[in-house]
Structure 1
Amino acid sequence: MRSTTTIYALSSGALPAGVAVVRMSGPHVTSLIEPLTGRTSLQARRAALCTILDDAASPIDDALCILFPAPASFTGEDVLEIQLHGSRAVTAALFRRLSMFEGLEPAEPGAFTMRAFLNGRIDLTAAEALSDLIVAETDLQRRLALSNADGAQRRLYEGWRESLLSIWARIEADLDFSDQDDVPPEFGDGVRIEIDSLRQAIEKHLAGYRIAEIINDGYHIVVAGAPNAGKSSLINYLAKREVAIVTDIPGTTRDLIDVRLDLNGRLIRITDTAGLRETGDVVEKIGVDRAHQAMRAAHLVIVLDDGVQPLPEIESTNVLVVDSKADLRASGRWKLAISTQTGAGIEELLARVGNILDSHTQIHDTVPSRQRHVAHLTDCIDALGRAGEMVEFELVAEELRVAADALGRLTGSIDVEDLLGDIFSRFCIGK
């Protein structure tokens, strides 16, 4: 794609800062060098100390300028980066100067990455992974995004698509040179074995979305127990702030309270819930019902046992029971005992949670990371399932085309115009 405009934006962090990086991309970049710096040219990919000039040739600031000629740049176009002092006045003066040039316009969110995609520098999965990398909060999110940004997803999906197209081509060729009645049985059996093998591989890959979902959205932990078992105290201790009201009055917590925490590079979401008991209070009963709903949806339920009240019934298959208020008790009934007053046992509890989480988030291969991926992969699997059951090879070939198209939409090789605005609008300005 050949752009007719040149875009520019601040590509570094919020101002003021030590350094501000202003990026430009498009066909006017090389013509900007002389009026901006007084130099006739810049050496490619070499930082040069330049004085940035305004329209009256007065200095705006001293800056490092780096030229990345097309096509060996992030966007595939000529790119100029100017690294200047990160004051609001300096960058505002540079933007005023840039706005005076014809053909230049401020970049919209994701505009640079969109140009990289349209110019074939990256595919859609790499663009999405780059977006995920920018907003990553934890080390595990960073690693997942980085593994997808290096083209591993594209290579995997394109490999499957090429295999499907190869099977499709063989079927079409055989149909062109023979009547369907003449197709040997072993040909059909071989095709169906290949189709089923691909379908199983894609199904296994799709199952990895649950891992990505946990990494990106957080491992959801619900803290449950009887009233005054210490749930809100544990939430406050872990959050290191007063997020939940703690009193001696039973039934204080009546709604769900969520806290997001970074547990050694892993994102966890901990939910405080209403104390589980039979109650005639209408509002408290709503809170108890919501607690049961949260437990059914959680990845893990931590049940606190204060040794005084009976353990409530828990609707979950993944439960960890912990003795609470260990500072007030001689001994407990469970392997883990904690006290939010002394901090005893908290590290052991977090280590146990970390081990459980790790067992659910082991990344051994590339995994789909977005709901869009799930939708297209599901379409592909469904088409392959239908193809494996059909008798007429014309219909088998058509289902293989549908499956291959679904994989093509994943990487953006076909039919993605309606997706571009949604995907790239999620980027920050300057990327």
Structure 2
Amino acid sequence: MGPSLPWRFLATHDGAPVADAESIFALSSGHGRCGVAVVRATGPASSTALRSMAGLTRCLPPPRAALLRSITDPQSKEVLDRGLVLWFPAPHSFTGEDSVEFHIHGGPAVISAVLQALGRVPGMRPAEAGEFTRRAFQAGKLGLTDVEGLGDLIHAETEAQRRQALRQMSGELGRLYQDWTDRLKLCLAHVEAFIDFSEDELIEDGVLDQVDRLVSNLQAEMERHLKDERRGERLRSGVQVVIAGATNAGKSSLLNTLCQRPAAIVSPIAGTTRDVVETALDIGGFPVVLSDTAGLRESPDLVEREGVRRARERVEQADLTLVVVDCAHVPTDVQEAAAFLQGHLRSVLPAQAKPETGFPADRFLLVLNKTDLLPREQKQKLDGDLSRSSGLPPICLISCQTSDGLRDFLAVLHRSVKNLCGDPLAGAPTLTQARHRAQLQQCAVALAQYQRYRDIDLALAAEGVRLALTSLGRITGRVGAEEILDIIFKDFCIGK
């Protein structure tokens, strides 16, 4: 999405177009050969570019209407291509400025020639990374959450990521935060009016009681919003799935089977994998970052010990751990098998993560590999007996050699990943950025300050509301003192 927005823009943003004498242009479609490429220009000189390069000497075309024209060099008048031009007059454009789009053939030579020609138009320069979006934000066309949603949509690689990003870009998350912002402004306006004018009996009774209710409701809503188990952030960046277990259990074979390529070296020699091998996958539309790790065992080898340390570190950070076990090592007796697997699970987990009772089904999967080496009757008995055992996470019996059981395993894996991410279209919009979470946590702390000082020092209580409002403003990019004053004079007949 380009570089992060400078904070000077956030501090001065008031929803009005920002004057900028420079006009910019860039290739807006993807790079490389393609049927059609889109070159976009915005700013005061975009109308000049359109007139001089599309041969429109008399008047500009109708807004947002495609016009087939010869695209020429503004100096030599050489025809560069023949394509469509579209005119977007301010303020009805992406950036809020006069803008033009050239839809040309997508060959590298055509694109290069048109970009060079635009550079020869007076007042035009190449755009910096993210500059079109930055101007849209400055003009009030997009809030910061909308900008982030746009960036996520551009980088979305799975269906679920696309849905979440499109929902955020459409403004749902921004509207939620704006609603909270508006209510906090009302709270702050009422508290400050009470402080300044209550002695003159110009403020009606019950004003602070109303603020108390609003603050309490906001706290409850924010706490629910924060208790999302990081579903939105996980969906945005990918579910961290780690393959762990003893040496020679078939962990690397499972990685290769899932990504359908030889991503990791497979060898009968124990301890072949010594570092973390990572690959990105799309599991039923959900993004997964799959990591194969070193086999967990005690070793005198310094390099292997480092690999084991890294493996345990990845297990600590994992959203979901696939614990792979060689099914030939599992006892045939059901009680002994359950006890063996529970002990194996505890040996894989870091000491601080070992649960006292059971293993969460959404955090662990037991994968019993190499079923092709078992007699059919033993495999069926193992599958039936263990599925009825309590205190164990979901169990999948597979063979990476024959792909037997792989379909059922993928269904269980998809269900676990979906539970970790949630449905991006269901319920209230979720947090997608770590910075949102940090600011909302500060907001909650600030509202607690209001509650703490409400009956002790109203000025300090008001400061808590003001800090909460500032934290929300850092998420949306919109907050200003004038808005508080507007509410004060709108809601209270002060000085009348």
Q: What is the TM-score with the length of structure 2 in the denominator?
A: 0.79
Give CA-to-partner distance per residue, 1:398-421, whole Å, 9 cap, x none: 111111111112111148xxxxxx
Q: Does 1:327 align with 2:387?
A: no
Change (3 A) 1:227 1:166: same
In structure 1, C-alpha distance between the alignment counterparts of 2:319 and 2:33, rounded to whole Å: 42
State the match for 2:14 in structure 1. none
In structure 2, C-alpha distance between the alignment counterparts of 1:12 and 1:188, rounded to whole Å: 54
Give aligned pairs, total. 415
In structure 1, C-alpha distance between the alignment counterparts of 2:302 and 2:159, rounded to whole Å: 43
CA apart distance, 1:173: 2.2
Which one of the candidate residues 220, 225, 232 is aligned to 1:200? 220
Change (3 A) 1:172 1:241: same
Which one of the candidate residues 120, 145, 150 is aligned to 2:170? 150
Tell me how large the CA RMSD over aligned residues is. Answer: 2.3
- 8 A Cα contact 2:233 2:431, kept in partner: no
In structure 2, C-alpha distance between the alignment counterparts of 1:94 and 1:305, rounded to whole Å: 60
Which one of the candidate residues 58, 62, 65 is aligned to 1:43? 62
- 8 A Cα contact 1:209 1:374, kept in partner: no
Change (3 A) 1:76 1:275: same
Q: Does 1:173 align with 2:173?
A: no
3-state SS, counterpart of residue 288 of structure 2: strand
Q: Does 1:381 align with 2:449?
A: no
Give CA-to-partner distance per residue, 1:296-319, whole Å, 9 cap, x none: 221121122213346532325432
Give CA-to-partner distance per residue, 1:293-346, whole Å, 9 cap, x none: 221221121122213346532325432112211111123434421111111111
State the match for 1:427 in structure 2. none
3-state SS, counterpart of residue 270 of structure 1: strand
3-state SS, counterpart of residue 308 of structure 1: helix
Which one of the candidate residues 15, 40, 50 is aligned to 1:33? 50
In structure 2, C-alpha distance between the alignment counterparts of 1:19 and 1:184, rounded to whole Å: 64
Give CA-to-partner distance per residue, 1:25-55, whole Å, 9 cap, x none: 0111222233212123212111111001122
In structure 2, C-alpha distance between the alignment counterparts of 1:261 and 1:8, rounded to whole Å: 35
Q: Does 1:354 align with 2:414?
A: yes
Q: Does 1:340 align with 2:400?
A: yes
State the match for 2:26 in structure 1. 9
- Name segments (4+ residues, structure 1) moved above 4 Å: 183-190
In structure 2, C-alpha distance between the alignment counterparts of 1:277 and 1:217, rounded to whole Å: 31
Q: Which has the higher contact order (CA 8 A, sep 6+)?
A: 1
CA apart distance, 1:105: 0.3
Report the residue type matching 1:292 in the other structure: R
Deviates more, 1:395-404 or 1:307-316: 307-316
Q: What is the TM-score with the length of structure 1 in the denominator?
A: 0.91
CA apart distance, 1:76: 0.7
Report the residue type matching 1:325 in the other structure: K
CA apart distance, 1:276: 1.9
Q: Does 1:23 align with 2:40?
A: yes
Report the residue type matching 1:4 in the other structure: A
State the match for 1:164 in structure 2. 184
Report the residue type matching 1:24 in the other structure: A
Which one of the candidate residues 78, 92, 109 is aligned to 1:89? 109
In structure 2, C-alpha distance between the alignment counterparts of 1:171 and 1:47, rounded to whole Å: 54
State the match for 1:398 in structure 2. 463
In structure 2, C-alpha distance between the alignment counterparts of 1:140 and 1:246, rounded to whole Å: 32
Deviates more, 1:38-47 or 1:21-30: 38-47
Give CA-to-partner distance per residue, 1:195-247, whole Å, 9 cap, x none: 12211211221233701221022111111222111111010111111111111
Deviates more, 1:326-335 or 1:141-150: 326-335
3-state SS, counterpart of residue 407 of structure 1: helix
Report the residue type matching 1:60 in the other structure: L
Q: Which runs of 5+ in 1 are unaligned?
A: 416-431
Report the residue type matching 2:441 in the other structure: T
Alignment of 1:2-401 (within 5 A): 2-39=19-56, 40=58, 41-54=60-73, 55-178=75-198, 190-208=210-228, 210-309=230-329, 311=341, 312=344, 313-315=347-349, 317=359, 318-330=363-375, 331-332=378-379, 333=382, 334-335=386-387, 336-362=396-422, 363=424, 364-390=427-453, 391-401=456-466
CA apart distance, 1:96: 2.2
Change (3 A) 1:7 1:341: same
3-state SS, counterpart of residue 252 of structure 2: helix
CA apart distance, 1:176: 2.6
CA apart distance, 1:179: 5.3
